[in-house]
Structure 1
Amino acid sequence: MGTNSDTEQGARDAQSAASAPSTLRVALGAPRKVLFLRDFCTRPQGSSCMKCIEACPKGAIAIANASAAVDAHACTKCGICVGACDGFAIPGASIEAVFSQMRKIALMGEKVILTCSYLLPSSFTPADNVIVLPCLAMLPPELWTCALALGIDLAVAVIFEECEACKRTNSQGLERFSRAIEQAEDATECTVAFTGDVPEAQVALTLMQTLGDASGKDRREALLDLKDQAEDIASGAYRMKRNESLRAFHEQRDHMLADERIGGAVGTPEQNAYAEGGMTRCTLSPRQRMLLEAADVSDAVAVRKRVMLSATDASLCDNSLACAKSCPTGARRPSPTDGQLVFEARLCIGCGLCTNACPQGAASLREAYAGELLPQPDDE
């Protein structure tokens, strides 16, 4: 059995764990570098896309050998490129990780507050419902759209004058995250709140109140209660216990991500005798997955969010499969059964590579709405 000293130390350790910033928060607030992810870049397939170069406020991105490269010396690690293209990510803090953290905070019944690390003093410890980003512009419109579609209570803590004067982003961050939020609000008919306040961690106060309320208990019993509550707060269990209905709602949303209707079997190469190299691979990018989920849960997104979608003129198509060879996601691919062209709308990112590749001019792009990306009744 532990001594009183052991119990006191356990309470202090639990309190420290509860108040310390999470790994995600540290990675987001002060990223060491920005990575390029070749699998989500369309340039290796022949695209002339320049989104990353146009987005970078410091000219730190260059194209070499049909691929992007980041100049570590010029890069300010603002993360704007992450918001512009799935081909970039902050190690340990992808947009999927950010969105997962947002879900967890909402599950606890808290408002999700997003802010920039450069607005907070180094001595400030934000509350657990605060996500600290290197720049708000690292979040793409699809993430904001999905969060609003799921009913997550959002607030952005920002000082507009500071954003306008930001030297790390050459003042581009404000314009970019404002535009992303506007697109999400238009698609969902919901709004993101703005605030000038960031709540500070209050764990120590809560624990001291617990100790002070321990009437009728000896010191050791009070410290054990203190340790238990500190562990509850650190794990989020304290708030979660009071939000069972919200937990059930978000679990249902999480399960839907694994459902064939949205996720499906993507990412794993499959044998296909009709495909170049004998293999096909389907890729569903993080922001495409978020857009699909938003369209599936929100009628507003399904009929309001505009996307570019590939189309085929059957009268011109001779099934040469040139379009399938150029498709970076596997949205266009030969059927493993008979080699006939298969098109899967949910994987289409509207890059237009198929239109350039088709020798018959049978492939084109058309404007559509996000609901058309979902499997239609005839497809199921």
Structure 2
Amino acid sequence: MPLNGPALKAALGPEAGAGLETVHTLLCRREAGSFQRAAKSGDDLLVACTQESRLFLQLSEQTEGALPLGERPIRFVNIRETGGWSKDGDQATPKIAAMLALAQLPDAAPVPTVSYRSQGRALIIGDAERAGRAAELLADKLDLSLLIQPGQGALPQTRALPVYAGEEVQISGWLGAFEVKWTQNNPIDLDLCTRCNACVEACPEAAIDFSYQIDLSKCSSHRECVKVCAAAGAIDFDRQAQTLRETFDLVLDLSTQPLIALHQPPQGYFHARDDAQLMAAVLQLREAVGEFEKPKFFNYKQKLCAHSRNEQIGCTACIDVCSAQAIRSDASRKGKAGGANLAGIIVEPHLCVGCGACTTVCPSGALSYATPGPDAQGQRIRSLLSTYARAGGKDAALLIHSQTGGVRLIGELGRAARTQAGVHGVPARVLPLDAWHTASMGMELWLSAIAYGASQVWVLMTEEEAPDYRAAVRAQMAGAQAILSGLGFKGQHLTLIEASDVAALDRALRVPPADCVQQAAGYHVLADKRATLELCLEHLMGQAQAVPDEIALPALASPFGTLQVDPDRCSMCLSCVSACPAGALADNPDKLQLRFIEKNCVQCGLCASTCPESAITLQPRLLLADGGRVRKQMRVLNEVEPFCCVRCAKPFATPKAIELMLAKLGAHPMFQGAARERLQMCGDCRVIAMHSNPNEVRIDQI
């Protein structure tokens, strides 16, 4: 592959490019001594070869005078399949410089971890034959129990393991903390059965096989089996069905259809439909004893959460998208926080798999990704794009991909470009950026990449991503693209690439560039999602040829918008004000006004679901009038003159509230004449009027 050492050194700058004195061609073998000399220098090491990473680590350990790996880690970056091995590899110097700069960034700050503890108590669920075969492969490592479901196969004659039988199996929990519930309704209790086979021999209908369960569709109630089992007492046709519960650390499910039908099942649960899957599961189960940790992938700020207020439901985006069912509503919980009856969501960190889709769809920023955080990802994007531009690169396309399936597919594309005439490979303008999960990066990072000078942002999804993630990312991209198009930037800037093979990916990467900003943004991505979006919008507006007064946004998943209030329905009860989690709605202590700051609105819908008159409608849009200042200012959505007491003329209610009260109570015989008039009085005058007529029956006396 072509490498230009002086150009790379110039692009990286004096400090970062200090080690680029020599361009190596066969570093891993013929020039390994160069690596060993660098290892003894004590400087940080960056190796632009991932293929031979194992060899380099071994060389470092064997090099006398080199620091131990624990004191000085070695970083690796792939510039071959992603850069040099393409049909325009000779133009890839800016990209290679950008990837070297990215690899030299410090690691993100450590995050809290989630712990699991497994003592190896495992349950195997399936028919007798397959469950027994799996048990033979695991018995030396795990404390096993079997849960036999109706099917073919025989239990072993010896009773070496606890065996249950049941149907309607339900599983909840995670590694080290599974609860399994099932219904036992067969006449034979496997815990009492001695497997003497007397019942099998005695049954005239052959309704009992060597799984020691009775096929009730064949049984004709001869009850010969009961007689021969008198000593053990394992057979009882009068036994009521029982619901049993047991806890386990691990679950191996051999059912045809998985009992936990999730795209991301909990850790510690393994489903094996065939022998190949069984062997893969066995290898993992044998190592699943001990204490384990994983990152806590998310941060949650309840005060920002737009899910619920006062037991009313608003935004459910995170709950709807989570493929691991790790998020549930906490709307019914009552607890005071900040003067409002707040309740939000509960995220179970043991079930969270770190996809980050919840943080991408969260409109308020209450959920944010932590591994790494958006500020750290923003720094990576900015470093990548700024180095690429400094090295003379044009029309950069950012390709976000996973560290598993995405890396594998991009590597296959690079190898195919090296060996096949019709394959182009990763173009020189395409900058790969890996992520733990592709759904973890959302609108604020995509638009920031455009503001930093990218022509396009592409998200590559392979078979490993759940369908819900694809739909969520597609919807978010539609909103972000609408903003860019509305500002006059021509072309398709944001694309979800769904590719499962080299040919599909090769085609997807060979599209023309879209419009770029003339000047790259200088802001830093913040941990606060909404604040980053505001910085990004301000820069994009400054780079736009013409800024419209407003941009219509798709109704699905829009984080921006206004409210429409029907004045004929609104009673000015102002319950929407207390429900708003973002401070977008406010009252006026001096007037009967409902006021609104559009910049704060996250379009969660809590105001609409709280409104007793159904007077509020959401309207997704991005208001940009007067340079965006209008959306930051408070304006009045509805205003009415107060209703004045018919006795003292003091304002005390809204006309709509009095109108509704009269409509509901006016026809009742207790509210006729003077009583009806009292409904239109303030509290003080109502008391005076009631006591001025002592012969009248009062409401509190009924």
1:90 matched to 2:338: no
- Specify the SS of the correspondent of 1:101: helix
Q: Distance in 1 between matches of 2:378 and 2:548?
A: 21
Q: Which amino acid aligns with 1:177?
A: V
What are the superposed Cα offsets for residues 226-272 of structure 1, whole Å, 9 maximum, x if unpaired? xxxxxxxxxxxxxxxxxxxx997422xx29x99xxxxxxxxxxxxxx
Counterpart of 1:78 in structure 2 is 355
In structure 2, the gaps of 5 or more residues are 1-37, 47-73, 76-100, 112-293, 334-342, 390-395, 412-430, 486-490, 498-503, 507-516, 555-559, 635-702
What are the superposed Cα offsets for residues 36-78 of structure 1, whole Å, 9 maximum, x if unpaired? 3313311342324321121011222222334322233332211
Q: Distance in 1 between matches of 2:563 and 2:539?
A: 20
Counterpart of 1:53 in structure 2 is 319
Q: Which amino acid aligns with 1:50?
A: T
Counterpart of 2:131 in structure 1 is none
Q: Distance in 2 between matches of 1:63 and 1:340?
A: 33
Within 5 Å, give how 1:109-188 maps onto structure 2: 109-110=388-389, 111=396, 112-119=398-405, 120=407, 130-148=432-450, 151-156=453-458, 158=460, 163=462, 165-166=463-464, 169-188=465-484
- What is the Cα deviation at residue 345 of structure 1? 0.7
Q: Which amino acid aligns with 2:551?
A: V
Counterpart of 2:509 in structure 1 is none
What are the superposed Cα offsets for residues 2-41 of structure 1, whole Å, 9 maximum, x if unpaired? xxxxx996672375587556424998xx854333331331
Counterpart of 1:229 in structure 2 is none
- Specify the SS of the correspondent of 1:39: helix
In terms of Rg, which structure is larger? 2
- Specify the SS of the correspondent of 1:103: helix
CA 1:362–1:31 in structure 2 vs 1: closer, same or farther (change >3 Å)?
same
User: Do 1:302 and 1:370's aligned partners in 2 also have CA atoms closer than 8 Å?
Assistant: yes
CA 1:322–1:92 in structure 2 vs 1: closer, same or farther (change >3 Å)?
same
What are the superposed Cα offsets for residues 156-191 of structure 1, whole Å, 9 maximum, x if unpaired? 473x5xx2x21xx43544444344334433442442
Residue from 624, 628, 641 that aligns with 1:374: 628
Q: Distance in 2 between matches of 1:9 and 1:248?
A: 43
Number of paired residues? 288
- What is the Cα deviation at residue 326 of structure 1? 1.1
- Specify the SS of the correspondent of 2:404: helix
Counterpart of 1:23 in structure 2 is 107
Residue from 597, 601, 604 that aligns with 1:351: 604
Within 5 Å, give how 1:1-380 maps onto structure 2: 12-13=43-44, 19=103, 22-24=106-108, 31-45=295-309, 46-64=312-330, 65=333, 66-85=343-362, 86-91=365-370, 93-110=372-389, 111=396, 112-119=398-405, 120=407, 130-148=432-450, 151-156=453-458, 158=460, 163=462, 165-166=463-464, 169-189=465-485, 190=491, 191-192=493-494, 249-251=520-522, 254=523, 285=530, 289=534, 292-293=537-538, 296-297=541-542, 298=544, 299=547, 302-306=550-554, 307-313=560-566, 320-334=573-587, 341-359=594-612, 363-371=616-624, 374-376=628-630
CA 1:186–1:58 in structure 2 vs 1: closer, same or farther (change >3 Å)?
same
Moved more, 321-330 or 370-379: 370-379
Q: Which amino acid aligns with 1:185?
A: Q
CA 1:94–1:286 in structure 2 vs 1: closer, same or farther (change >3 Å)?
farther
CA 1:291–1:135 in structure 2 vs 1: closer, same or farther (change >3 Å)?
same
- What is the Cα deviation at residue 84 of structure 1? 1.8
User: Do 1:312 and 1:363's aligned partners in 2 also have CA atoms closer than 8 Å?
Assistant: yes
Identity %, equivalent residues = 19
CA 1:378–1:155 in structure 2 vs 1: closer, same or farther (change >3 Å)?
closer
Q: Which amino acid aligns with 1:188?
A: L
Q: Distance in 2 between matches of 1:60 and 1:171?
A: 17
Q: Distance in 2 between matches of 1:302 and 1:149?
A: 20
- Specify the SS of the correspondent of 1:333: strand
User: Do 2:552 and 2:621's aligned partners in 1 also have CA atoms closer than 8 Å?
Assistant: no
Q: Which amino acid aligns with 2:617?
A: S
User: Do 1:36 and 1:88's aligned partners in 2 also have CA atoms closer than 8 Å?
Assistant: yes
- What is the Cα deviation at residue 370 of structure 1? 4.3
What are the superposed Cα offsets for residues 185-225 of structure 1, whole Å, 9 maximum, x if unpaired? 3442442476959xxxxxxxxxxxxxxxxxxxxxxxxxxxx
CA 1:328–1:287 in structure 2 vs 1: closer, same or farther (change >3 Å)?
farther
What TM-score do you get using the length of structure 2 for normalisation? 0.34
- What is the Cα deviation at residue 99 of structure 1? 3.3
User: Do 2:361 and 2:472's aligned partners in 1 also have CA atoms closer than 8 Å?
Assistant: no
* Bigger RCO of structures 1 and 2 (CA < 8 A, at least 6 apart): 1
Moved more, 65-74 or 368-377: 368-377
- Specify the SS of the correspondent of 1:177: helix
CA 1:136–1:71 in structure 2 vs 1: closer, same or farther (change >3 Å)?
same
User: Do 2:482 and 2:551's aligned partners in 1 also have CA atoms closer than 8 Å?
Assistant: no
- What is the Cα deviation at residue 328 of structure 1? 0.6
- What is the Cα deviation at residue 348 of structure 1? 0.9
Q: Which amino acid aligns with 1:88?
A: L
User: Do 1:146 and 1:291's aligned partners in 2 also have CA atoms closer than 8 Å?
Assistant: yes
Q: Distance in 2 between matches of 1:328 and 1:291?
A: 23
User: Do 2:599 and 2:631's aligned partners in 1 also have CA atoms closer than 8 Å?
Assistant: no
What TM-score do you get using the length of structure 1 for normalisation? 0.58
